[in-house]
Amino acid sequence: MRMLLAGEWVDRAETIDVRDPFDNSLIDTVPSATHDDVETAMAAAFAARATARRMTTYERSRILLKTAAIVAARVEEFATTIAREGSKTIREARKEANRTVNTLTISAEEAKRLNGETIPFDSFPGGEHRRGHYERVPIGVVLAITPFNDPLNLVAHKLGPAIAGGNSVILKPATVTPLSALKLTEAFLEAGLPKDVLQTITGNGAVLGDALVADERVRMVSFTGGLEAGKRITTRAGLKKIGMELGSNSPVVVWRDADVEWAAETCVSGAFWAAGQNCIGVQRIYIHRDVYDRFRDLFVERTKAYRIGDKLDEATDMGPMITEAEAERVERWIAEAVEKGATIAAGGRRSGALVEPTVLENVPADATIHYEEVFGPTVNLYPFDELDDAIASANSADYGLHAAAFARDIEICYRLVQGLDAGSVLINDSTDYRLDSMPFGGIKGSGLGREGVKFSLQEMTEPKVVCWYLPELKKL
């Protein structure tokens, strides 16, 4: 596939192979962009600010709705692309494609709800002759950098609000999963988006990243990815808005009165969705000692029943990790934990890029797999006696995106809601739930700001005050 620069689909002599991580088969190639391509994209996006800004609310909303309709009509095509270039099974990929339809539809709706307010200038002496309001206006050029784990819907979460707000956009998709983003770019153009409003540049982030992020023509960087990359962006971005979702190490607390069967069932799905490569995936589960054995047995039983293999097989529950190198990293982290005293209750083996769904017990606090984001199909189980101890343990990691708790006692639930440090606390559900219209983001190392269409749209626009001095007002 080609990339979109300055309104044209272009190739380059140097290309990047896009391979299926299950069998390493070649799916397609994409151009490997250069620094000259970055300048082309920047210049085009900067010039296109006027085009994007002139689009009426109706036009922005219509284009977003039509793009949503195109994706809806081609769900199977998009799902197959997601599944082949990434880690998701075909069933997981269909869900992502359908969520993308919802994200774009919400973006179209929110474009029409981008309101300002009147300002009571006469609320302070000296303002008697003044009236006015504020309105929200486009911020300008938005740089969107997206990850591999949700290669379609997370692109929509950036493009949808940016276009709804009247901005031009430069999209840099993940190097290993660019095809879904390019297909969505095609859908936007088919829906009528002016070509110069969106630039989709493909290439190695290590080569292009600094040049994209540091350019003063960019007014906002919207980034989803890892903590270290996020820190690097903050040191190079300069004076511009930054929105970041940087992952998590999501904890779950299971109280003694919980529905243990439901907790085990939903946490297995929450731990191993997309081979665990999920920023809100369950990683640490703290279980009251009264129900620990029962929960562990149910959790291990369901984990061992998970079917791993070919992503396009409808019967497969979990596919490979994104690369064999990532699978080897998770294998090393498991081995390190075992060397330090952890025990494997299920899984633990690797074959190529496939890592078995793995359950660990007795994981020490100094094991990497305990305190870092594993971003792989492993989960740690810990018993506890006192609720305050469980809350403190859950909060001990330098992340705070999602946390979850299972309990029936309403007072216990409120203590957990108030005590858990996270952007979202889910009660009687796993951490792996997100509605595309809710505010989404975290604290500590999990990032800056909030996504979710309405909230991204606020970040991608800015208030502009209009104040009228009307000397004749007192005579009225």
Known catalytic residues are 245, 279
Evaluated on CA atoms 145, 146, 152, 158, the torsion sign reads: negative
What is the SS3 string spanning 18-44? EECCCCCCEEEEEECCCHHHHHHHHHH
E strands, 139-237, in order: 141-145, 168-172, 198-200, 218-224
153-164 vs 179-190: helix axis angle to the nearest 10? 40
Distance (Å, rounded) from C-alpha 476 to C-alpha 473? 5
In the chain the first and final C-alpha atoms are separated, in Å, by: 65
Query: What kind and span of H or E run contains 443?
Result: strand 443-444
Contact criterion met (CB below 8 Å) for 275 and 377: yes
Contact criterion met (CB below 8 Å) for 367 and 347: no
Query: Hey, what are 7's tokens?
Result: 């309104």
- What are the Cα distances from residue 53, in Å, to 6, 90, 110? 17, 38, 16
Distance (Å, rounded) from C-alpha 360 to C-alpha 379? 6
- What are the Cα distances from residue 262, in Å, to 382, 416, 429? 18, 18, 9
Contact criterion met (CB below 8 Å) for 466 and 132: yes
Distance (Å, rounded) from C-alpha 56 to C-alpha 166? 8
Contact criterion met (CB below 8 Å) for 118 and 133: yes
Residue 84 one-letter amino acid? R
Residue with tokens 């010039």: 47
Residue with tokens 């359950």: 359
Distance (Å, rounded) from C-alpha 464 to C-alpha 475? 29
Query: Hey, what are 404's tokens?
Result: 């979850």
3-state secondary structure (DSSP) of residue 375: coil
φ, ψ dihedrals at 210, nearest 5°: -60, -40
